[in-house]
């Protein structure tokens, strides 16, 4: 698994992009609690990429910043984007959801990133029963995937097309990560889209790992090598809410930064939080790679993802560059 080992430094840098914040939407925040903390309604997809948030909650770092996090965990990423500024204050998003939502008329601002996949850190890759030399070898095969949409599935579709394999010449079958080993062994599927920390158990079971991150490879290909990272874990908020509540946004970022710093100082402790939170077996928790976390947003990733989706026929039209907004922390 050395190919998947990230750099040991866990530097976290806030993006400072001078973009104008404008737009409409809800801006009311819930009333303060009796202890003086401000409720902040946050959505999150549980997983390794969200670990600093969970650590910050466990260690009380958000409370130190005057926040009480009202957390909603799940997978309803597209719905959350629409609910920003209404049911929720800060919502989980990703590059396959954010820019397309702006093109449909939503006005949300990117607050922070949490992880970037790269050549140094593979987040999602392919596991195959038989070793493959290229994606062409997946022609005629059945591929298991946790979801049929989103950045990872779209990246696979794009890369398969670039390899000369038509959509009708392979099949993507939806199934959870936990069922991939048995289905690969039994021959129900020939390959699986697997993620950190699940690919360790597949490798031990004798499966072959592709060794590259699907979204990173798609971004490289579609941008002619200009974009070499990919993130499936970002956070955004309604632009009007951001304008009205900069103190809450800054408190969120400060608390989250403390969570990142804590993971940096105490990886073992962070891994224990991850295991307890996600109810991981001991071996799976050991397999989990703690990546290099960064709060820095990289807008170029959104254009690369847009072009992947457009090439697949999932979206149409030009990339809405003028609508992309990145929060600039205020002193």
Query: What is the b/e burial string over 99-125, where b = at least 16 CB atoms within 10 angstroms of the residue's CB?
Result: bbbbeeebbbbbbbbbbbbbebbbbbb
Q: What value does the mean pLDDT take over residues 179-193?
A: 95
In the prediction, which pLDDT does 30 show? 72
Please report, in angstroms and rounded to a whole number, the separation of the first and last CA atoms in the chain. 42
H, E, C per residue of the chain: CHHHCCCCCCCCCCCCCCCCCCCCCCCCCCCCCCCCCEEEEEEECCCHHHHHHHHHHHCCHHHHCCEEEEEEECCCHHHHHHHECCCECEEEECCCCHHHHHHCCCCEEEEEECECECCCCCCEEEEECCCCCCHHHHCCCEEEECCCCHHHHHHHHHHHHHCCCCHHHCEEEECCHHHHHHHHHHCCCCEEEEECCCHHHHHHCCCEECCCCHHHHHHHHHCCCCCCCECCCEEEEEHHHHHHCHHHHHHHHHHHHHHHHHHHHCHHHHHHHHHHHHCCCHHHHHHCCCCCECCCCCHHHHHHHHHHHHHHCCCCCCCCHHHCCECCCCC
Share of the chain above pLDDT 90, in %: 81
For residue 5, what pLDDT is reported?
33
pLDDT at 309: 96
Task: Give the CATH architecture of domain 124-212.
Answer: 3-Layer(aba) Sandwich (3.40)
Report the DSSP beta bridge partners of residue 126.
Answer: 193
Q: How far is CA 61 from the centre of its chain?
A: 22
What pLDDT, on the 0 to 100 scale, is given for residue 306?
Answer: 96
Q: Which CATH number fits domain 2-118+229-323: 3.40.190.10, 1.25.40.10, 3.40.50.300, 1.10.579.10?
A: 3.40.190.10
Q: Which two tokens stand for residue 220?
A: 């490289």
- 34-47, pLDDT tens digit by residue? 888 999 999 999 99
Give the model's confidence band at 202: pLDDT under 50 very low, under 70 low, under 90 confident, else very high: very high
Render the burial of 62-94: b for 16+ CB within 10 Å, e for the rest.
beebbbbbeeeeeeebbebbbbbbeebbbbbbb
Task: Find out whether 96 and 147 touch, Cβ atoms under 8 Å.
Answer: no
pLDDT, mean of residues 250-278: 96
Give the mean pLDDT of the chain. 89
- Break the chain into its structural domains and give their ranges: 2-118+229-323, 124-212
Residue 35: the pLDDT is 87
* Interhelix angle 267-278/51-58, nearest 10 degrees: 100
Q: Would you say residue 53 has pLDDT above 60?
A: yes
Q: Which two tokens stand for residue 209?
A: 């790992």
pLDDT of 34: 85
- Please report the pLDDT score of residue 187 as a whole number: 94
How confident is the model over 245-258, as a mean pLDDT?
A: 97
Tell me: pLDDT of 159 over 80.
Answer: yes
Domains 2-118+229-323 and 124-212 share a fold: yes
| Res 108: pLDDT | 96
Question: Averaged over 193-204, what is the pLDDT?
Answer: 91
How many of the other CB atoms lie within 10 Å of CB of 288? Answer: 20
Statement: residue 17 has pLDDT above 60? no
Query: Residue 3 pLDDT more than 60?
Result: no
pLDDT mean over 55-75: 96
Contacts of residue 105, defined as CB under 8 A and 6 or more positions apart, other chains included, come to none
6 has a pLDDT exceeding 80: no
Regarding pTM above 0.75, the answer is yes
Q: Which pLDDT score is estimated for 28?
A: 58
């Amino acid at each position: 698994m050395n190919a998947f080992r990230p750099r040991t430094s866990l530097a976290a840098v806030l993006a400072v992009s001078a973009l104008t914040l404008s737009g409409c939407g809800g801006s009311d925040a819930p009333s303060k609690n009796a202890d003086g903390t401000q409720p902040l309604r946050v959505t999150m997809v549980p997983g390794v990429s969200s670990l600093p948030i969970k650590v910050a909650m466990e260690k009380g770092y958000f409370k130190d910043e005057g926040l009480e996090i009202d957390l909603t965990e799940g997978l309803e990423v597209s719905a959350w984007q629409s609910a920003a500024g209404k049911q929720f204050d800060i919502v989980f998003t990703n590059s396959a959801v954010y820019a397309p939502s702006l093109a449909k008329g939503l006005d949300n601002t990117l607050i922070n990133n949490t992880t970037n996949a790269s050549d140094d850190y593979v987040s999602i890759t392919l596991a195959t029963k038989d070793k493959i030399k290229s994606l062409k070898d997946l022609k005629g095969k059945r591929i298991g995937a946790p979801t049929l949409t989103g950045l990872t599935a779209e990246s696979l579709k794009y890369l398969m097309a670039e390899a000369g394999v038509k959509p009708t010449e392979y099949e993507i079958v939806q199934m959870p990560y936990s069922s991939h080993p048995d289905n690969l062994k039994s021959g129900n599927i020939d390959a699986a889209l697997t993620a950190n920390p699940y690919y360790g158990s597949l490798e031990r079971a004798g499966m072959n790992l592709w060794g590259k991150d699907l979204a990173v490879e798609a971004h490289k290909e579609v941008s002619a090598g200009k974009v070499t990272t990919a993130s499936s874990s970002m956070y955004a908020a309604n632009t009007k809410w951001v304008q009205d509540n900069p103190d809450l946004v800054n408190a969120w970022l400060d608390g989250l930064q403390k969570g990142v710093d804590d993971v940096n100082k105490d990886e073992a402790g962070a891994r224990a939080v991850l295991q307890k939170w996600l109810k991981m077996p001991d071996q799976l928790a050991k397999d989990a790679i703690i990546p290099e976390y960064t709060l820095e947003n990289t807008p170029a990733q959104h254009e690369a993802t847009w072009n992947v989706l457009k090439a697949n026929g999932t979206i149409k039209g030009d990339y809405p560059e003028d609508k992309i907004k990145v929060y600039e922390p205020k002193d």
